[in-house]
Amino acid sequence: MSETGYLNVAEIFGENVFNDSVMQARLPKKVYKKLKEVINEGKELDLETADVVAHEMKEWAIEKGATHYTHWFQPLTGVTAEKHDSFITAPMENGKVLMSFSGKELIKGEPDASSFPSGGLRATFEARGYTAWDCTSPAFVRQDAAGATLCIPTAFCSYTGEALDQKTPLLRSMEAINEQALRLLRLFGNTTSKRVTPSVGPEQEYFIVDREKYLQRKDLIFTGRTLFGAMPPKGQEMEDHYFGAIRERIASFMKDVNEELWKLGVTAKTQHNEVAPAQHELAPIYAEANIAVDHNQLVMETLKKVAGRHGLQCLLHEKPFAGVNGSGKHNNWSITTDDGINLLDPGKTPHENVQFLLVLTCILKAVDRHADLLREAAADVGNDHRLGANEAPPAIISIYLGEQLQDVLSQLISTGSATHSISGQKLETGVKTLPDFMKDATDRNRTSPFAFTGNKFEFRMVGSQDSIAQPNVVLNTIVAEAFSEACEVLEKAENFDNAVHDLIKEYATEHQRIVFNGNGYSDEWVAEAEKRGLPNIRSMVDAIPALNTEKAVALFEKFKVFTKAELDSRVEIEYETYAKEINIEARAMIDIAGKQIIPAVIKYTTVLADSISSVKGACAAADVSTQTEILTEVSGLLAEAKKALSELEKITEQGAAMSEGREQAVFYRDDVKTAMDALRAPVDQLEMLVDKSMWPMPSYGDLIFEV
């Protein structure tokens, strides 16, 4: 807080981060210089330097109130993991304890690798795994009800060296695109840039509901989404929630979220109401991909933690409520040099910017060639409910370029050269007191899964609860491949200018099918995409095989991002994950329907039947007839629900008895999910008929409008 009592963001920002300014102030100059060389140039960290860094990091953390440290890593569970150790080393003769933290402890930890998903890379009896300090992402102190803990971002690998996490492949992919982008820049005469880094800005969507109501919904507790629920009279059709005034309870929550994130060095920038009632968005400023991935995990953890303090619950599932918009995570991606050059900046005259045009057409080639991999990078169980719906991109990968770049591309394809670029026009407001201003040369397309938005690409398919690591691993690697192949041609060229011109035209022509500026939601686009030969991968189960095709294995092994064994393991993990999540949802439906909903409906029919019997003599025949009709309708739906419940129980047992793998995942998608839908249909109709006081859980209206 400032002296006035108001929050001063500049004062608190990064106060809990062992960042560059803290290191520069606390480390000896020689040690600081060595550590910066490790971070910026990839040099190896010696133990002597690590010991000094560890000591100062410990002293700084203790000043922040820390008693424990943890290697904070991202296994293939979809969430972060940590094991806490105190700084206590040994008791002393005077009854005190020694507090220490060594370089060895900083650099390496040893969690149990067999207890995390490994896809067969580690047997149950092969427990040893390692966490390795990622010095490119700064350590931080997290303060919560458990006290203060020093968190050290780390990679996680098996005893035999395979990646068991999200971070290791990401760091490998960043090295790949750095090497190939520098190679490309050198061809254009750039000798000053030393490093090229993918920058990422993920927009995080989420729902907020009242925690008391949440705790009355077992489906939300067990699965993160509502498995039953009839739509309320009002949904999002008035579009009055989008960018609407933020309610005080939510604003108070957002204020605390921002404050916590700012202290952790997360550049929380934009917040607003999203389209669906109770839905919101938080977006940070761009950061290097590795740090952006870590920060996004902190954003999700902080949203959930702070919500609890306010008597709220944060829902990160991609589709917590059927019938209203789900939540995504827009992954804004660009590539920049260490001296500030954005390779995706077209400039004022993109038709003359040859370097940009080559980078652009390389990306067209990369996305067209590996559309299946990019789609797989956004595949998860929850996202199957969202992709292709009206609030999310279709499951077909395409690129939106906008009018200006589309026109430049068309010139290249038709004539072999581009001679002009469409410029922005003056936008006249028609009101004298309002200024006229220049509008951008292109509009935005919210239906595109991969859209160029000025100086970056926005990959809009990613699910709200997913790590953004995998999409960026794929983007970095496929673009590195395209850069590499372009360099192989240009390095051999006798005339560079002619060769680069020909290559831009070749890539633009051969991969123009991936460009689509129209309505991605239309049926016409589905038919057009099929004509173009673009894949339409509708479910996670269908997306998974893209991970270990011969094409994918060759790509990832060439740039040392994944080995074939690592890819095979991820395929196995994803099939298992799909089946397990649907199994949990099915069992939750069985539990809720059998123990809560059907007993409540039986109770209602009993009360209704008793009411009919008691009033037959006193009421008009028409009144009795109406009540009898309701009883008949409710009883029919009850019978339908009981039959569907019995079928779901039987089919779920069959699925659970199958061997893990693709066949089981397909069964859960085609048979178990169908049986789940069959149970939900009569239950949702019953909710509209049964007395609200007897319905055993809060309704959609209670959850999304009463926050």
pLDDT band at 429 (very low <50, low <70, confident <90, very high): low
Relative orientation angle of helices 402-415 and 496-510, to the nearest 10 degrees: 110
pLDDT of amino acid 232: 83
Compute CA 89 distance to the chain's CA centroid, rounded to the nearest angstrom: 39
Q: Which of 642, 667, 645 minimizes the C-alpha distance to 654?
A: 667
Q: How far apart are the first and last CA of the chain?
A: 29
Q: Which of 486, 481, 491, 478 is nearest to 505 (CA)?
A: 486
Distance CA 496, CA 483 (A): 15
Whether the Cβ atoms of residue 505 and residue 414 lie closer than 8 Å to each other: no
For residue 526, count other CB atoms closer than 10 A to its CB. Answer: 16
Determine the number of helices (DSSP H) and then strands (DSSP E) in the chain.
24, 19
Residue environment code for 224-251, b if the CB has 16+ CB neighbours within 10 A, otherwise e: bbbbbbbbbeebbeeeebeeeeeeeebe
- Confirm if 483 and 184 have CB atoms less than 8 A apart: yes
Query: What tokens appear for 69 in the block?
Result: 């440290």
Higher pLDDT, 517 or 650: 650
Higher model confidence: residue 697 or residue 417?
697
For residue 572 the two structure tokens come to 């196995």
Place of tokens 């700012």: 262
Distance (Å, whole) CA 353 – CA 350: 5
Minimum mean pLDDT range among 78-82, 121-125, 346-350, 510-514? 121-125
- Provide the pLDDT for residue 387: 83
Nearest to 655 by CA among 585, 572, 578, 583: 583
pLDDT digit string, tens, across residues 355-398: 999 999 999 999 999 999 999 999 999 999 988 655 567 789 99
Query: What secondary structure does DSSP assign to 579-611, as a single string?
Result: HHHHHHHHHHHHHHIIIIIHHHHHHHHHHHHHH
Of 424, 566, 610, 586, which is closest to residue 120 (Cα–Cα)?
566
Residues 461 and 328: beta-carbon distance below 8 Å:
yes
**What's the pLDDT at 229?**
95
Q: In sequence order, what are the beta bridge partners of 269? A: none
Average pLDDT for 465-480: 97
Domains identified in the chain and CATH numbers: 9-165 (3.10.20.70), 173-227+239-424+438-562 (3.30.590.10), 578-705 (1.20.120.1560)
Give the span between the Cα atoms of 482 and 426, in whole angstroms. Answer: 37
Q: Which of 50-54, 93-97, 289-293, 382-386 has the lowest mean pLDDT?
A: 93-97
Distance CA 460, CA 456 (A): 12
Q: What is the DSSP string of 208-260?
A: EEEHHHHTT-HHHHHHSS-SS-PPPS--STT--STTPPPPHHHHHHHHHHHHH
- DSSP lists the bridge partners of residue 91 as 97
pLDDT (average), residues 560-583: 96
β-pair partners for 86: 68
Measure the CA dihedral 601/677/462/82, to 10°: 60
pLDDT band (50, 70, 90) for residue 125: low
Mean pLDDT of 172-195: 97
Q: Is 427 in a helix, a strand, or coil?
A: strand
- The pTM (predicted TM-score) of the whole model is 0.93
Which percentage of the chain shows pLDDT scores above 70?
91
Mean pLDDT of 587-592: 98
Query: For the segment 271-315, what is each residue's pLDDT rounded down to a tens digit?
Result: 998 888 999 999 999 999 999 999 999 999 999 999 999 999 999
Q: Are 347 and 356 in contact (CB under 8 A)?
A: yes
Average confidence (pLDDT) over 659-670: 96
In eight-state DSSP terms, residue 671 is: I
Q: Is the pLDDT of residue 44 over 70?
A: yes
Which stretch of 124-138, 207-221, 531-545 has the lowest confidence by average pLDDT? 124-138
Which among 383, 401, 399, 402 has a CA at the least distance from the CA of 391? Answer: 383
One DSSP character per residue, 154-220 reads EEEEETTS-B-BSHHHHHHHHHHHHHHHHHHHHHTT--S---EEEEEEEEEEEEEEEHHHHTT-HHH
Render pLDDT for 244-266 as a digit per residue (tens, 0 to 9): 888 999 999 999 999 999 999 99
Q: Return the closest-CA partner of residue 465 out of 375, 378, 572.
A: 378
**Cβ contacts of residue 12 below 8 Å, gap of 6+?**
259, 262, 263
Cβ neighbourhood burial of 681 (10 Å; 0-12, 13-18, 19+): middle
Residue 32 backbone class (left: φ over 0; alpha: ψ -120 to 50; beta: rest): alpha
Tally of CB atoms within 10 A around 10: 8
Residue type (1 letter), 667: F
Instruction: Please give the DSSP secondary-structure letter assigned to residue 670.
Output: I
pLDDT at 120: 73
Answer yes or no: are the C-beta atoms of 205 and 567 closer than 8 Å: no
How far apart, in whole angstroms, are the C-alpha atoms of residue 343 and residue 345? 6
pLDDT score, position 506: 95
